[in-house]
Amino acid sequence: MESSKEQTHIFGVRAVIEAIKADKEIDKILIQKGMNKELFMELKEALKGKHYPLQFVPIEKLRSITDKNHQGVIAISSPVVYFKIEQLVDELVGSDKRVFVLALDRITDVRNFGAIARTAECMGVDAILIPSKGSATVTADAIKTSAGALNRIKVCKTDDFKDSLFYIQQCGLRLVAATEKASVPLYETNLRGNVAVILGSEKDGITKDLINMSDIACKIPMPGEIASLNVGVAAGMVLYEKVRQELYGL
C-alpha cells in the first residue's frame, strides 16, 4: 500500500481523537503548551497505548499553520503509508530475490533523507527502515528531494530500531554498519547476498550498540584531512558498492 497524497493537517481535539482511534498514519501531533486542561486530558486518554510523536509548541506555531479553531492541537498526517519491517522481510526472504534493506539510524534532515531514498531506489533497495522517534519522516519536502522515489520504495517505521534490526538479522540478513569507526575498508567488505546496510546520524553516526550487534563494520577510505562525508554522499558510495559487487564480484 503506497500513497502519493500531500501532507495534510488535522486540527481540533475531536478530529484528532477520531484520527487516532482510526489508526491514521500521523507523523506527529503538535500540542499547545498550556492548552485547556480538560481537552488535554481527553486527548491524553485517546493516546494511551499509541506511539505517535508528540511535540509541545507555543500557540504561535499552531497559528502559523492554520487560523481556524485548532483548540490547541494539530496532527500532521503522513503523505505515505508506512510498512511493518518484520512482515515485509518475511515476504522478501520467502521469495527468490536477494534482499536489500537500508536502515537509517536517526537521520534528521528531511533533504538528506529524500536524497538517500532517491539513491536507494536507483540502487534496488527493497525497503528503508527508520525509527519512529528522533528521525526524519516522509514529508512533502522529502518526497520532492527524492524525485518521487519515496512514493515507490517501501518505508518502514519501528518503535524499537534495535529490536527490528535483530529480527532482520535472525531472518538471515547480514547487518553491515557503514561507519568511520571501522577498520575494514568498504571495498574489502563482502556486500553480496541478503544484507541490511546501516547508516548513522549526521551528528554522531551509528550508535555504539548497533555497531556492536552488526555482523561487520566497514568504512569509506578518505585520504583527505576532513574525515567526514555528508550522509547522503556516503549512502551513494556504499549502496553503489553493493550493486557493483553483485554485478562484478568483490
Architecture of domain 9-77: 2-Layer Sandwich (3.30)
Residue 227, CB half-sphere, CA atoms under 13 Å: how many? 9
Contact status, residue 157 vs residue 137, Cβ threshold 8 Å: yes
Query: Do 9-77 and 85-248 show the same overall fold?
Result: no
Contact status, residue 42 vs residue 17, Cβ threshold 8 Å: yes
What residue segments make up the domains of the chain, in order of their start? 9-77, 85-248
The kind and range of the H/E element at 101 are strand 100-105
Per-residue pLDDT tens over the stretch 178-231: 999 999 999 999 999 999 999 999 889 999 999 999 999 999 999 888 878 999
Residue 3 has pLDDT above 50, yes or no: no
85-248: what CATH class?
A: alpha beta
Distance in angstroms (rounded) separating the CA atoms of residues 90 and 72: 41
Distance in angstroms (rounded) separating the CA atoms of residues 205 and 249: 28
| 2 band by pLDDT with thresholds 50, 70 and 90 | very low
| 7 band by pLDDT with thresholds 50, 70 and 90 | low
Among 21-25, 39-43, 89-93, 224-228, the range of highest mean pLDDT: 89-93
The pLDDT assigned to 77 comes to 86
Q: Which three cell numbers stand for residue 249?
A: 564480484
The kind and range of the H/E element at 152 are none
Per-residue pLDDT tens over the stretch 123-132: 999 999 999 8
